[in-house]
Structures are given as structure tokens and as C-alpha cells.
Amino acid sequence: MVAGGLGAYWPQFPDLLPQLRRSAARVAERMRGLGDVDVVDVGFISDAQEGATAAERLRVAGCDLIVGFLTTYMTASMLVPVAQRSGAPVLLINLQPTERMDHATFDTGAWLAYCGACPLPEMANAFDRAGVAFRSVSGFLEDDRAWARIARWVHAAGVRGALRHARHGLMGHLYPGMLDVSTDLTSVCTQLGGHVEVLEIDDLRVRAAAATDAQVAERVALTRAVFDVDAGVDPDDLAWGARVSVGLDRLVEDFALDSLAYYHRGLDGEQHERLGAGLILGASLLTARGVPAAGEYELRNSIAMLVMDRLGAGGSFTELQALDFTAGVVEMGHDGPAHLGISAARPRLRGLGVYHGKRGWGVSVEFDVRHGPVTLCGLGQRRDGRYVLVAAEGEVVDGPHLSIGNTTSRVDFGVDPGEWTDAWSASGVDHHWALGTGHRLAELAAVAELVGLEFVAV
């Protein structure tokens, strides 16, 4: 954050600068109250030289968002260097002290404290000519509507920061034939930032084998505390899922992973097939802890889940399942890992003798997402390789569910489910996406803008 005003005013109106500094301190205070936010406040600048000094300090700090507080008129030369040198997205805020001036009593000095709107067109023009993207929020100091918009940009910057520094695990191999799921790993780093760690299924095998009996028993106890364990669950299958879960935690720790996508086919019950089949429990527990894990090697989906998680929405591994034209809803979910933190009720762990479309057997998770407003978020890829962030808002409603060890949510989009499905499929989204709680279109649009992605709202 950097606040500023024109230094020529200070000797002319002695009471002005102290008032503006108080406003800047209040803005910094409210910024720190927006959640897990680290505010680098470089203070108040009054001329281009001080702006250059602030620019260097913010460049070194490596911030995810530069907030320029226009407290009164200031020249563009004071802020353009800040934006140019930092390389971070820029948010300009114009928050006057109160809703309106007291015209009968105000003199020129008092008016100038309300003059933050004055330089905004100048900044916009100069930033555009400098090739620096920006966005702005205008309001007053305690304007909740303005602060809601500011919070949106700050939280979006947090997601951008998470992507810039993320370490994504990719373990196993592509589910054969899923052409949309195939991802050029270089494109992740170049378009989103971060790092993709390529893992072997053997990286998990050795860690699962090293799990002690005590650790496995502890994980079984945790599972029984978190889930309703169906009577049909084989104790040996539960113990195996617990062992794989312990190994998976160690894998995530050893490679410092922020997300994981995986798939391994295996054959005839051999060790790698059993590992692939035993991942669902551990992947669900990881996702609930903020390390999203997705099956079927869907790297861009685990990244979309990370985006939703960092927005506080959860984000569960999801695909289309069926359409209910009588109720007017779209049924969606997935076999396998899910975000336990957004379950409508206590999740159920069910034993499956067959995983449809996959080899192996074991335990799987069953629930529907918390009823109420939800948002879908998917990360697709265009013909030219560019990523596209696709989103839609709906509402999870009550209704019948299959008892087959799948997550299933009934989502009402307010339109014919067939027409919605056609529009969603034409958007560029992949086979899978993240289903999270709350209506998040505005936040996701902000994320897309700050990261530099095309945004499509269905």
C-alpha cells in the first residue's frame, strides 16, 4: 500500500496532511482486517521522488497487489513508477472521509480532503499509456460497499499469490483417452506461475509401506470420527485406505505440495493397482485440510479446486452425472475424493467391490454439498493453449441420491437442465471442475483478471 497527495498543498493548508495521514492509517487498518493479509505500508508520498523510493521498496517486497490510495489530488508521476517497477496488479482506491462535504462550512483545505476522485482519470490515462493494467474503487472511508469491492480484489490477489508460489503434484499417468485432461506442464508455469512436481506411483508406495501399525490405527480412528462408516466396509479395505492416507500425507510433506492430481491403472491386484484404488480416503482428508487432490490425472482441476479453496469456498472434485428434468436440476459429483469440509451432513464411507471405469476396489466417499448457493469453477484450455476460467452459479437443493459411494449434488441453475448442460459444455470447460459454496462469480472474475485469464460465466 502507498498513500499520497500533492506536496504543494501542505504549506498552504497545514491541517490537511495530518487528516490525510489519519485516513491512510485507517485504510491500512481495515486492509489488515480482510483476512490472512500481510500489508506492506510504505507510508505517505508527496512528490515524484518519494514515489520512486516507494516504488523500489514495493519492488523488493514482491507484493501480490499494489494498492494506491488517492487521498487528494496527486500527479500520475508519483504512482506510475510504483506500478511499473513492482510488476504486480494495481488497485487504485479513492475513499473520501465521509459520504458528502459540509458545503456551508468547508473551505478549500477541507474540500481537498475529499478530492481523491480528481486524479483518478489522470492516473487511468497515464497507466493505460504505460501499458499498466489497473482497477479502481471509489467510495468513502467507512463505505461497506466499497470495502466489499476492495476485499474482492485483495482476496483475488491472494489466489494469484497462491498460484504464483504453488507446488502442484502430478502422480501416475493420464487416464487413457481423456484428451481434454492432458496438460502441457510448461503452460501451467508460464500462465499461472508455480511449479509442477512430477511424481511416480512408487513415490507413494515406499511411503505407504513405511507407515507403522500405530499410524494406521490412528488414521482408522480418525476416519471413524470423521465419517459414518457403512457396515459393508471391509476392515482390511479400511486399513489399507488408512495406510495409503498416511503415506499420502508423507508424500505431500516431503515434496511440499499445495495440490495433487493422480491416476494409476495397474493390473490384476498388483501393488500399484491397490495403491491407486486406496487413494480416495487420504485424498479426501487432504482436500479438507486445504491440499486439494483430484483423480484421473486432472491437473487443471486440482488447480481449480485450489482457487476455490483459497477463496474460502471449499471446492470438490466434480463432473456431470445425470439430469433430472422433473425437478429441473443437474446432478453432479464424482466417485472418489471430495471436500469433506463442505458436506451437507456427516460424510459416509462406503465399501465398493468395483470402481466403475477403474481397476481395483476399496472404500469411497459419499455425500452431497451443503445446500444453498454454490459456484462451479473449471480451468479449460483453448485451441491456442490459453487457459480459460469458467464459472457458473446455482443452488444445491434437496432430493434423492444414489447410494453408490459417489458424491452427488443436485444443482438448480434456474433454467432447463438440458439447456444449461449444453451451454456449460460449450464454454471450454474440461471434463471436471470444482464445486464450492457461495456465489463467487465476482471473486472469480477478479482472480481471472489479476492472473490474466479469459473468464467465461455460464
What is the pLDDT, as a whole number, of residue 207? 98
- Helical (H) or strand (E) element with 88: none
For residue 265, the SS3 value is coil
Instruction: Name the burial class of residue 38, with classes exposed (0-12), middle (13-18) and buried (19+) by CB atoms within 10 angstroms of its CB.
Output: exposed
**Percentage of the chain with pLDDT > 90?**
91
The total domain count for the chain is: 2
Sheet holding 134-140, edge to edge: 44-45, 2-4, 66-70, 90-96, 134-140
Which cell numbers in the block locate residue 280? 480416495
CA–CA gap between residue 100 and residue 361 (Å, rounded) = 67
Within 13 Å, how many C-alpha atoms sit on residue 267's CB side?
0
> Among 171, 166, 172, 174, which residue's Cα sits nearest to residue 191?
166
Could you tell me the pTM of the whole model? 0.94
Buried b (16+ CB within 10 A) or exposed e, 313-337: bbbbbbbbbebeeeebbbbbbbbbb
With a cut of 70, which residues of the chain have pLDDT below it?
Answer: none
- Helical (H) or strand (E) element with 45: strand 44-45
**How many helices and strands in the chain, by DSSP H and E?**
16, 19
Last residue of a domain, one of 132, 164, 196: 164
What is the pLDDT, as a whole number, of residue 227? 95
**203 & 342 share domain:** yes
CA–CA gap between residue 132 and residue 117 (Å, rounded) = 19
CATH of the domain at 74: 3.40.50.10940
**140 & 182 share domain:** no
- Which pLDDT tens digit goes with each residue over 202-220? 999 999 999 999 999 999 9
CATH of the domain at 361: 3.20.14
Last residue of a domain, one of 101, 134, 164: 164
CA–CA gap between residue 79 and residue 119 (Å, rounded) = 11
What is the pLDDT, as a whole number, of residue 411? 98
CA–CA gap between residue 333 and residue 121 (Å, rounded) = 47
**29 & 52 share domain:** yes
What is the pLDDT, as a whole number, of residue 358? 77
Within 13 Å, how many C-alpha atoms sit on residue 58's CB side?
32
**145 & 192 share domain:** no
What is the pLDDT, as a whole number, of residue 450? 96
CA–CA gap between residue 99 and residue 87 (Å, rounded) = 33
DSSP E strand stretches across 279-432: 293-294, 314-324, 329-335, 348-352, 362-366, 372-381, 387-397, 406-412
**250 & 135 share domain:** no
Last residue of a domain, one of 164, 189, 214: 164
**173 & 264 share domain:** yes
What is the pLDDT, as a whole number, of residue 369? 95
**170 & 157 share domain:** no
Buried b (16+ CB within 10 A) or exposed e, 194-210: bebbebebebbbebbee
Tell me the β-bridge partners of 333: 319, 408
**144 & 282 share domain:** no
> Which residues, other chains included, contact 121 with Cβ-Cβ below 8 Å and sequence gap of 6+?
none
CA–CA gap between residue 55 and residue 13 (Å, rounded) = 27
**130 & 204 share domain:** no
**245 & 255 share domain:** yes
**63 & 94 share domain:** yes
How many Å separate Cα 38 from the centre of its chain? 18
**84 & 198 share domain:** no
What is the pLDDT, as a whole number, of residue 269? 84
> Which residues, other chains included, contact 52 with Cβ-Cβ below 8 Å and sequence gap of 6+?
81
Enclosing domain of residue 21: 2-164
In which residue are the cell numbers 500462465 written? 191
What is the pLDDT, as a whole number, of residue 225? 96
- Which pLDDT tens digit goes with each residue over 258-308? 999 999 998 888 999 999 999 999 999 999 999 999 999 999 999 999 999
